[in-house]
Amino acid sequence: MKFNFYPSKTSFILLLLAFCFTSLQAQNTNGKIQGTVKTTDGKRAPAVTITLTELKRTAITNENGTYIFQNVKPGSYTLNVTFIGTSGAQKTVTVMAGKVSTKDFTLTESAAQLEEVSISSGKTLNSRPVTFNKSGLSTLDMPQSTGVVSSQVIQDQQIERLGDAVRNVSGVSLTQTRGGVGETFSARGYSIGIGGGAGSIFKNGVLVNTAGFPEASTLESVEILKGSSALLYGNTSGGLIINMVTKKPKFENGGEVSMRIGSYNEYKPTIDVYGPISQNLAYRAIATYENDGSYRDHVKTERFYANPSLLYNLGKSTTILVEGDFLKSNLTPDWGVGSLNNGQAIPTQVSRSQFINTSWAYSHMNQYTGSFTLNHNFSDNWKLNFIGSAQGTDIDSYGSTQPNTVAANGDWNRTLARANTHEGDYTSQANLTGNFKTGGISHQVLFGTDVTKVNNVSYAYTINGLAIGSYAYDKINIINLDQYAQRTDEPNAVAVTRTTAPVYRYGTYAQDLISLTSKFKVLAGLRWTSQHTAQTSVDSLQKGKTIGGTAATRNDAAFSPKVSLIYQPNTTTSIYAGYSNNFAVNSGTDVSTGQGLKPSVIDQYEAGIKNEFFNGKLSANFGIYHIINNNLAVVAPFRADGVTPNTDNTVKTFSGQTTSDGLEVDLNGNLSKNFYFIAGYGYNFARYTKTSGLKGSNIEGEQLVINPRNTANASLFYTFTRSNLKGVKLGASAFYTGSRLAGYNNTVGQTQAYSRLLPVGGFVTVNVSAGYTYKKVSLLAQLSNLTNTMNYLIHDNYSVTPIPPRQFLTTLAYKF
């Protein structure tokens, strides 16, 4: 099946050309104002606001410190330059038809002072825009809960993994670490994990694969949108999406070198250097190497990460950003301590460090990513953004299969699993944003389109002619590893087939923030998404022929609307309520039609209030939500005749229902340049709410697995600026994950005599930090899990990993 994208693309291009033509005509009779904002030490100042007072128009300086006002009628105007916490500046300018008027500004602060102010002012939750909402909406105008983990938090908490970052956001938790090679996160009763095909983790707004753990220590920030984001991104999780924002080039020379040393022989040098190549071209290059042992026996980590980027200012209205990164991650696959009795119990009697995979097990990953971003301002009111990205992820791993068949006494007949996979993620998107008025009503609109291809290639293996999963390797006892002699040799696994599975997605969307008055607003939008899943292609490597896969080609499509009402009684408070949905693609066939199952549409309702206090230094947000999947696909009890019992688990019906209710509270404050705090709480109850008409056990009310009922987080850091303690930094963080269910949810009509659920208690970890900065040198130390709390992260019912014990980490850094 071919997809014809040409009509929508042509319309989109014609729309852009129309705006360009209109803009060019206006420029013949109007003029322009442009200039550069610098600090007293001659460095260019980004993110500074310039206001054209008489016309009530604003512009923000780009990374090169430049700004521009286009299509300005001839006349005399006043320009005001403001940046929170600085003295600002004011100048007058005269505009003539068809001419460019240049006005440069110099702030009284130095670049160092400006950076210090930017950390402490205007950087709370509601003051920091989420960059990948595509539309440029302010946070107060977004009728949706958000979370941002800033570079300051990443630095102060010495964050290295994405899971350590997201726990700073209310209602979001790290719930699983499958096999020690990837992380799974949950929010609002829904989870996301590794793999670009999952479609819910992004880097700089584009889809990425996060196997092998993305490098979080070098990120500028981590952004989280909670709830449905299907309007903007299509087939994504109903709970959250995560966007990792990398550091960008700067038009000033600088950088940092650091060395991180920690428990279990960890050492990690990092270098970050940036600066101008020419007046309009800047670069940044970041590289880090990590070599780390573990509290887990035989587990090692060796990683190398590089992130070069170039930023080019093509005139005053256009910027081009080219980024690339490479991650080489060599990990030891680790099933943790395993589980007993086919996943019914955790072996709490064994050591926290016990390792049950083969002694030679390995997982090697190489990942390459490249992206191109173009931003162009047609005028102050109309802007175009285009992003193209490609990523390749190659994984080569070998070791035991998952330990889900361990006997009650700990005996386990180990078999092996060999994986050699490639995932290619290719994405492009174009977004046009604009501001205009119809009478007294203001509009902030977004028109966009995106195309994604995810291509998975995997190999199947045999050992001595047997399918690798049928090859009996050895027998061990996970309670007493000395009971049986373990094999230490690595059998030769031979690749016999190669399977290629491509998926294509296309979406087009429109959104409008309608300001009826200064206090009442409506956000409305609609997206159409089409997904084409091609039949897999299986190549026999021994016979040299290609055969089709067992799953038929399928096409899915869904509309994703969103509508919200916003009431803003003043400029620092926003009250909202709204509806949106997302969709989940289903596998299997519909019992009533015999065709492939349509997607399940999941309805979401959210209401909340966002507040800013003390001139933006404190944000306080509260939100509640109700998410319901009315057409959950479950195994049909009978065939289409309604009489014959159904024994095929791929034949399903839309007779199930799940519901997720909860609330989230966020407090975020930068009360001064030397003190900030973060606090959050989330409650979620996700459960089955309907199984009517289905045979077997009644599971209504059963809580969905891997979703803790309660989560909480709190962090604060204080830096002394006076007396003998000047330069001393103290901090503490606490994270709570409530009780939850691991394993598998019970199924309607199941024949097992035992429950499939594995209850896990809640736990709290506390980290404390202390550091000292003298001029350009800083030293920061941390004790994590101060109380040495013991608990587990569990994937399904077999990858049972004890959380890390008390550990020490310190970073010595020099800025230049």
- Identify residue 566 by its one-letter amino acid code: I
CA pseudo-torsion sign 632, 637, 643, 647: positive
CA atoms 646, 649, 653, 657: torsion sign: positive
Residue 61 to residue 251: CA distance in whole angstroms = 12
Band of residue 581 on the pLDDT scale cut at 50, 70, 90: very high
Question: Which residues, listed in sequence order, are joined to residue 779 by a DSSP beta bridge?
Answer: 772, 812
Give residue 574's pLDDT.
Answer: 96
Spans of all domains in the chain: 6-111, 245-394+407-815
* Amino acid letter, 207: L
Amino acid identity at 142:
M
Please give the average per-residue pLDDT across 109-114, as a whole number.
59
In angstroms, the Cα distances linking 716 to 392, 673, 682, 693 are 39, 13, 19, 52
What number is the average pLDDT over the span 210-215?
A: 90
Q: How far apart are CA 184 and CA 207, in angstroms?
A: 16
Q: Does pLDDT of 471 surpass 80?
A: yes
- 643: which DSSP letter? S
Number of residues written out for the chain: 816
Name the pLDDT band for 438 (thresholds 50, 70, 90).
Answer: very high
Please tell me the pTM assigned to this model: 0.86
Q: Which residue has the higher pLDDT, 459 or 592?
A: 459
CA 515 vs CA 505, 511, 562: distances in Å: 33, 13, 16
- Rounded Cα gap, residues 174 and 177, in angstroms: 8
Q: How confident is the model at residue 692 (pLDDT cuts 50, 70, 90)?
A: low
State how far Cα 364 lies from the chain centre: 23
How does residue 115 score in pLDDT terms, banded at 50, 70 and 90? low
Name the DSSP class of 641: T
Considering the segment(s) 6-111 as one domain, its CATH architecture is: Sandwich (2.60)
Once rounded to an integer, what is the mean pLDDT over residues 179-198?
80
* Low-confidence winner among 49-58, 190-199, 301-310, 325-334 (lowest mean pLDDT): 190-199
The pLDDT score that the predictor gives to residue 86 is 59
Contact between 310 and 774 (Cβ < 8 Å): no
Query: If you average pLDDT over residues 17-43, what whole number do you get?
Result: 67
* 631, two tokens: 């057409």
- For the structural domain made of 245-394+407-815, what CATH number should be given? 2.40.170.20
Task: Tell me: pLDDT of 364 over 80.
Answer: yes
**Contact (Cβ atoms closer than 8 angstroms) between residue 246 and residue 214:** no
Of the candidate ranges 265-274, 349-358, 593-602, the one whose mean pLDDT is the lowest: 593-602
Beta bridge partner(s), residue 28: none
Return the closest-CA partner of residue 175 out of 758, 769, 782, 785.
758
Which amino acid is residue 361, in one-letter code?
A
pLDDT at 28 over 60: no
Q: What is the pLDDT of residues 757-768, one digit of tens each?
A: 889 999 999 999
